[in-house]
Amino acid sequence: LSQRLEVLNPNDEIGRLAETFNSTLARLEASFVRTRRFFVDISHELRTPLTIIRGETEVGLKWAKEPEDFKEILQSNLDEVKRMSDIVESLLDLSRAEEGGVHLELQEIELSEFLLGLIHDLEQQRRHNEQESRISLESYGTAWIMGDMRRLRQVFLNILNNALYFSAEDSPVRIELKVEASRARVSVIDRGVGIPAEDLEHVFERFYRVDKSRNRRDGGAGLGLSLVKSLTEAHGGKVYVESSVGLGSVFIVDLPAIPAPSAEAFIPS
């Protein structure tokens, strides 16, 4: 496949045809490489939990006697099965989003209210509600967009969970919401570990993790941000990252804004 056509004269028709052919071939090759890497990655991701389940089950069958031992093994197996389901769910979401096949249930959403709701749920979930909240929202006015509530939750939950996870326990995470011209811009700012410059352009790729060893067992398969990217793009938006090692990261989601819907007309009875 790697053979290229020789371009004798780039200006005549045959030459242009040969150049088109060569560049198509290059794209095709790159796509084969990506597909191959994808299969290696996914096999690897699923093999790890499978190895754990298999090992623990074998050891359990051979040595476990007390009900407590069995319970521990079942619990651990359940954790690994959940992990595999998450990976498979994310992959399905991702492939639907990338094929443009994700069906968006669009509605008018006011982003500051939406984000406050999300922060509330996150704090609840993390049982931080008794302590001071780690996440704060700074918004300049209201920002209306057309969006799919469930999908946008996935987008911002992924970014926020990363911001919380990759920074210290008591380190604040700030959300800034701005409307400029016809764009609504949400920045999630953390003061965490940051991302090295050479990794920045890759973090939205499937299965990409900066520190490959660090979070294998606590959740991260490197799929979250690729889903964030596809879902944001499905909404006609864009996502960016700026980061500096040791200082923190900013993830910016830029979405098309709509005019505030007018309040429903008051009809006197």
Residue 154 phi/psi, 5-degree rounding, is -60, -45
Among 111, 187, 249, 255, binds ligand ADP (CB under 6 A): 249
118 binds ligand ADP (CB under 6 A): no
Among 208, 238, 240, 252, binds ligand ADP (CB under 6 A): 208
- Give the shortest CB-215-to-ligand ADP separation in angstroms: 5
Specify whether the CB–CB gap between 220 and 110 falls below 8 A.
Answer: no
Cβ closest to ligand ADP, residue 167 vs residue 257: 167
253 binds ligand ADP (CB under 6 A): no
38 binds ligand ADP (CB under 6 A): no
Among 18, 145, 210, 257, binds ligand ADP (CB under 6 A): 210
Q: Alpha-carbon distance 100 to 81, whole Å? A: 29
- Both tokens assigned to 19: 């150049």
CA atoms within a 13 Å half-sphere pointing along the CA-CB vector of 12: 4
**Interaction residues for ligand ADP, span 155-174 (CB under 6 A):** 158, 162-163, 166
Please list, in sequence order, all residues whose beta carbon lies within 8 angstroms of the beta carbon of residue 240, skipping any fewer than 6 positions away.
251, 252, 254
Count of chain residues binding ligand ADP (CB under 6 A): 23
Please list, in sequence order, all residues whose beta carbon lies within 8 angstroms of the beta carbon of residue 191, skipping any fewer than 6 positions away.
167, 168, 171, 172, 247, 248
Nearest residue to ligand ADP by CB is 220
49 binds ligand ADP (CB under 6 A): no
Helix axes 13-63, 67-98, angle to 10 degrees: 170
- Give the shortest CB-60-to-ligand ADP separation in angstroms: 29
User: Using CB under 6 A as the criterion, which residues of the chain lie in contact with ligand ADP when the complex forms?
Assistant: 158, 162-163, 166, 190, 192-195, 203, 208-211, 215, 220-226, 249
